[in-house]
Chains A and B, each alone.
Chain A
Amino acid sequence: MIRLKSLTKIFPGQATPAVDQLSLEVPAGQTCVLIGPSGCGKTTTLKMINRLVEPTGGRIVVGGEDVTGMDPVALRRRMGYVIQQIGLFPHMTIAENIATVPRLVGWPAARIAARVDEMLTLVGMDPAIHRTRYPRELSGGQRQRVGVARALAGDPPVMLMDEPFGAIDPITRGRLQNEFLKILKAIRKTVVFVTHDVDEAIKMGDRIAILRDGRLVQYGTPDEILARPANAFVEEFVGTDRALKRLALVTVREVMRTDTHASPPRPCASIPEDATVKEALSAILALNGESLAVVDQEGRLLGHVTLRQIQELVAGRSDPIP
């Protein structure tokens, strides 16, 4: 668990605080997304958690321990850190880059080598090809993936990620987001994740913290924030298509009707069960249809989602959550 209490940072010579009385709690095993306009203090907040920046005031408690009393080196080795500018080591191979923390903490060589390959595979890069390459021989997107692999390599319980998927094309980004969510499902980690992208925040966050000028404007689950923006700033920030975005929070499996098994309304296209309702809606509209068959990985029919159903869902959900 990570708890920030009235965390404040005033950089020397600056009139206004970069981070101002920020208090929030990230429960263990959850992902907290920090989002807000450029310069609102996201990076500064992240760097205070691993003590790259010393707070001017307030407290940071990680796993019940006040961070200020801890040895920063030991603290950082337990926190995977992906910096905004990636920061790969130019003189080391990709394998050596990824092996950084395992080497620091003294894993045996065989375990490190296996871990490097595992991490490369995880981020969708062929170990045989990329292991011995150098950072400058990679594309920007590949470097970013190596940055994520490097942060994950030591299997830290906490991950601090500063726009980790910023320089990646939408398709790869989507894949990496899914991969990362899968990793988190398998090994629970407490994650603080910085992004500029509302859709990414909604997808990745158990909770979203919206910052403005160093202050916390709203902190809540994606659904809470989409359903009840705290003020006009949040409303504008999350976008006018809030209703649509909320549909991205639900998978078709959760809403599909299974009572139509025997007689589907009409022969229709299919969608995988883990697709979001937003994707289902988009597919229905694109096909100019009425409904979609929901199928599992093997293509077996599980149920249906219909346009009517989605409309009802939106209508039902646009009411404020009690």
Chain B
Amino acid sequence: MIQAAWAYLLSHPKLFRDALVTHLTLSGSGLAIAAILAVPLGILLSQSPRAALLAINAANIGRTVPSLAVLAIMLPVLGTGFLPSLVALTLLAIPPILINAYVGIRQVDPDAVESAVGMGMTRLQVMAKIELPVALPVISAGVRTAAVQVVAGATLAAFIGGGGLGDFITSGIALMQLPLLLLGAVPIALLAIGTELLFHRLERALTPRGMRSGSS
């Protein structure tokens, strides 16, 4: 069966490559847009606990909505194709990034912040020199969670005509062709694992040396 999938892949290299590129483009741009929006928003929210309560609760609810439901909701609003898929994936990626950016800043040792302010750092300097670097590991953990979710979630783009590797799965099911289905499923699984590993390394690289566990 794997061989059949392999054979199909070899006979349709362009089809596979296009699907892969679409999948990665969707996931990558969805994640990037989400990070660009949610990291600053999370940091901003950490400065105002009251607004944060609202936003974080909303994000938490957003987190529990299944990916497929997000896509389904997009359908009547934006129709089908690449753009609605991108919007849906962005929405999918925002909650974990937002929550971690908020939590990351909030959990910075208040004594470190107090001594920074007490020594004459401006609010901006405290953010840039203390809070952000200390929160960076937590923020990037949020991005990692979102990345894995998005890579897996991009599969569902196939349902609203967004393309990507999910196409193989949907047509595999429709045509009762298991090899075709595998051609989508296996790369997606590998992509998810690869994303997890890649972002894990990134997270470690972004963790300041003095805060890494297991190094002393």
Contacts and interface: CB of A to CB of B under 8 A. Distances in A.
Interface string A210-224: 000000000000000
A134 B208 CA distance: 10
A73 B121 CA distance: 6
Interface stretch (A60-68, A87-95, A193-201, A269-277): A87-95
B122 A50 contact: no
B119 A81 contact: yes
Contact of A89 (B122, B125, B130): B130
12 contacts: A52-B118, A76-B120, A83-B118, A88-B115, A89-B112, A90-B109, A93-B210, A100-B116, A101-B120, A104-B119, A137-B210, A151-B119
Given A74-B120, A81-B119, A100-B119, A87 B111 contact: yes
Interface of A: 47, 50, 52, 73-77, 81, 83, 85-93, 100-101, 104, 134-137, 147, 150-151, 154
A92 B129 CA distance: 10
A136 B112 CA distance: 13
Contact of B112 (A52, A81, A88, A137): A88
Contact of A50 (B113, B118, B216): B118
Nearest to B207: A91
Q: Decide if the interface of chain B is mainly helix, strand, loop or mixed.
A: helix
A83 B130 contact: no
B114 A134 contact: no
A135 B130 CA distance: 14
10 closest A-B pairs by beta carbon, nearest first, are A134-B210, A91-B208, A87-B115, A77-B120, A87-B111, A76-B120, A81-B118, A85-B111, A91-B133, A87-B112
A151 to B, nearest CB: 8
B115 A91 contact: no
Given A52-B117, A90-B134, A100-B119, A83 B210 contact: no
Interface in B82-127: 109, 111-122, 125
Interface of B: 109, 111-122, 125, 130, 133-134, 208-211, 216
Contact of A76 (B112, B117, B209, B210): B117
Contacts of A135: 210
A86 B121 contact: no
B117 A83 contact: no
Contacts of B210: 90-93, 134-137
Contacts of A100: 116, 119, 121
Given A87-B109, A100-B121, 14 more contacts: A47-B118, A73-B121, A74-B120, A77-B120, A81-B119, A83-B111, A83-B114, A86-B115, A87-B115, A89-B134, A90-B208, A92-B210, A101-B120, A147-B115
A76 B119 CA distance: 5
Given A87-B109, A87-B112, A136-B210, A76 B118 contact: yes
B109 A73 contact: no
B192 to A, nearest CB: 31
Given A52-B117, A83-B115, A90 B211 contact: yes
Contacts of B208: 90-92
A150 B117 CA distance: 14
Contacts of A86: 111, 115
B34 to A, nearest CB: 26
B109 to A, nearest CB: 7
A83 B120 CA distance: 13
Given A87-B111, A87-B112, A134 B118 contact: no
A66 B109 CA distance: 31
Contacts of A73: 120-122
B115 A81 contact: yes
Contacts of B211: 90-91, 134, 136
Contacts of A81: 115, 118-119
B132 to A, nearest CB: 10
A239 B122 CA distance: 44
A50 B130 CA distance: 20
A251 B108 CA distance: 47
A89 B208 CA distance: 11
A100 B134 CA distance: 16
